[in-house]
Amino acid sequence: MRFRELVNPRGEAASERLAAMVALGRGDLGAAFRHALSTFSLYNQRIADPWGRVEGSLLLAQVALAEGSLQRAQEHLREAETTQVDEAEPVQHRHLTAAWLAFASGKPDQAYEHILQARRAFPDVRRTGDHTPLLLRRLTPLAQQTPSALLLAEWQQLLDTSATSTPLPLP
């Protein structure tokens, strides 16, 4: 990656994170894992950034979930939970990843609670983290026939409507 050549670890880590999200969205789990591992390593070891460490751990958990490895997903999620962050984006992503794990573990009530917490991460429910739309699409089929289905549908509709309406004012 060009950021490596420029000796810009923050840019490299951000690029690896985006590449992991794209690969996960495409279903290329091998590439998603490599990019997520690189993301975690860069943010954890070279930059020492708690936000990135959480996001890297969550991407590793999401890859494990997509592969059906609930134990590995739980380990990566636990790693993300041990790092204290106050920013809304990783908090939202952490709850949505926990909801995915809860659905995969047959615990729809826990999933519902995590989705509620994810919606509350930002003061305005129309604001989301960059990875949230992909996670919502992942959760929707898992939520069929559960109370979370309506919650996810309402949230997605709100996001779709706000994306086509007037932009929100900047704070």
Q: Residue 4: its pLDDT value, please?
A: 55
Q: Residue 171: its pLDDT value, please?
A: 47
Helices 108-119 and 147-164, packing angle to 10 deg = 30
Q: Residue 161: its pLDDT value, please?
A: 87
**Cα–Cα distance, 148 to 140 (Å, whole number):** 8
Q: Residue 124: its pLDDT value, please?
A: 93
**Cα–Cα distance, 124 to 102 (Å, whole number):** 25
**Cα–Cα distance, 113 to 14 (Å, whole number):** 30
Helices 9-26 and 132-142, packing angle to 10 deg = 30
Q: Assess whether pLDDT exceeds 70 at residue 7.
A: no
Q: Residue 167: its pLDDT value, please?
A: 57
Give 99-156 as a DSSP string: HHHHHHTT-HHHHHHHHHHHHTSSSSTT---TTHHHHHHHHHHHTTTSHHHHHHHHHH
pLDDT per residue as tens digits for the range 10-30: 889 999 999 999 999 999 999
pLDDT per residue as tens digits for the range 135-170: 999 999 999 999 999 999 999 999 988 776 555 554
The pTM for the full model equals: 0.90
Confidence of residue 47 (pLDDT cuts 50, 70, 90): very high
Please give the share of the chain, as a percent, with pLDDT higher than 70. Answer: 91
Q: What letter does residue 169 receive in the DSSP assignment?
A: P
Q: Residue 5: its pLDDT value, please?
A: 58
Tell me the mean pLDDT in the region 55-60. 98
Mean pLDDT of the chain: 91
Instruction: Calculate the CA dihedral of residues 48, 52, 55, 58 and round it to 10 degrees.
Output: -20
Tell me the mean pLDDT in the region 111-130. 95
Helices 88-104 and 70-82, packing angle to 10 deg = 150
